[in-house]
């Protein structure tokens, strides 16, 4: 989070340094506020997360051999992932734009977080030169949060039996997975320049649907069959979920239509 804030301040310090140059060099028509364009977005996000608040343990026994798969799950203190990604957008009239897709991915403390979505928004100018824009939009996206629970080999060669499915003698990278459908209203401030535009924004993340399980690739089980707290009580839900906010900064390369 501290590194992310440092990048934000660096970006904000760069913008004023170039603003005077842009106002002199660029003709008024060089960056018409409402001209049609397709934009390539390069994105850096501080993606808020919320964990269950205590470390857990993964444990599952293959009933045909008695082989025990176990792994610690240190999720306490996970509050964010630093994500990077890209997207494509297009202006469709004087004030509206379509965000065809945004894809970002991040990793921290054995936790992988990636998402992909699309949306629609509104933008308007904040100054006479029409190079400082306010943008608001609503996006819907799929999010996948996962935590690695280890790889396992059955030395009996009988195969590991999980959920009445023999998954073989070796399983790689068993994972806790939370699959989600989310919606996010967001606002951004965009500064347009001749080659690249800067933007900084914040969004609220609301979860519509969530499904948590433990993935063995060939089959899955519910988390209460394999995740336990320090008192050996099974966990039913809420291991790692999205937080309330998404902070993002980045660049947009515009291609005129």
Q: How far apart are CA 198 and CA 38, in angstroms?
A: 15
State the total domains in the chain: 1
Q: Please give the DSSP secondary-structure letter assigned to residue 192.
A: -
Q: pTM of this prediction?
A: 0.84
Domain of residue 232, CATH code: 2.40.160.20
Please write the tens of the pLDDT for every residue from 182-212: 999 999 999 988 888 999 999 999 999 999 9
Length of the chain: 257
Residue 236 is predicted with a pLDDT of: 96
Other residues' Cβ atoms within 10 Å of the Cβ of residue 54: 13
Q: In whole angstroms, what is the distance from residue 96 CA to residue 224 CA?
A: 46
Tell me what pLDDT residue 9 has.
44
pLDDT at residue 60 greater than cutoff 50: yes
- Region of 131 (left: φ > 0; alpha: ψ -120 to 50; beta: rest) is alpha
Q: What is the pLDDT of residue 35?
A: 64
Q: Are strands 227-228 and 220-222 parallel, antiparallel or unpaired?
A: unpaired
- Half-sphere CA count of 105, side-chain side, radius 13 A: 2
Residue 108 is part of which domain span?
2-256
Q: What is the pLDDT of residue 68?
A: 94
Per DSSP, the three-state class of 95 is coil
Q: Give the residue ranges of DSSP H helices in the chain.
A: 2-25
């Amino acid at each position: 989070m501290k590194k992310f804030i440092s990048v934000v301040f660096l970006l904000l310090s760069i913008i004023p340094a170039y603003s005077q140059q842009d106002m002199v060099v660029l003709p008024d028509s060089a960056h018409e506020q409402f001209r049609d364009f397709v934009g390539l977005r390069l994105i850096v996000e501080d993606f808020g997360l919320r964990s269950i608040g205590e470390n857990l343990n993964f444990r599952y026994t293959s009933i045909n051999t008695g082989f025990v798969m176990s792994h610690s799950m240190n999720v306490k203190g996970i509050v964010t992932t630093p994500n990077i990604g890209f997207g494509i957008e297009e202006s469709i009239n004087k004030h509206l734009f379509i965000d065809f897709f945004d894809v970002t991915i991040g990793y921290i403390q054995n936790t992988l977080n990636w998402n992909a979505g699309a949306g629609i928004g509104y933008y308007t100018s904040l100054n006479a030169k029409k190079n400082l824009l306010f943008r608001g939009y609503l996006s819907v996206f799929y999010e996948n949060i996962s935590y690695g629970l280890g790889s396992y080999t059955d030395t009996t060669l009988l195969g590991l039996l999980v959920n009445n499915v023999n998954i073989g003698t070796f399983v790689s990278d068993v994972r806790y997975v939370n699959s989600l459908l989310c919606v996010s209203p967001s606002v951004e401030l965009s500064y347009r320049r001749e080659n690249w535009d800067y933007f900084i924004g914040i969004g609220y993340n609301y979860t519509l649907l969530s499904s948590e399980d433990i993935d063995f690739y060939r089959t899955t089980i519910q988390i209460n069959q394999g995740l336990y707290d320090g008192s050996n009580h099974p966990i039913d839900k809420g291991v790692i979920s999205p937080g309330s906010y998404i902070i993002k900064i980045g660049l947009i390369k515009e291609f005129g239509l």
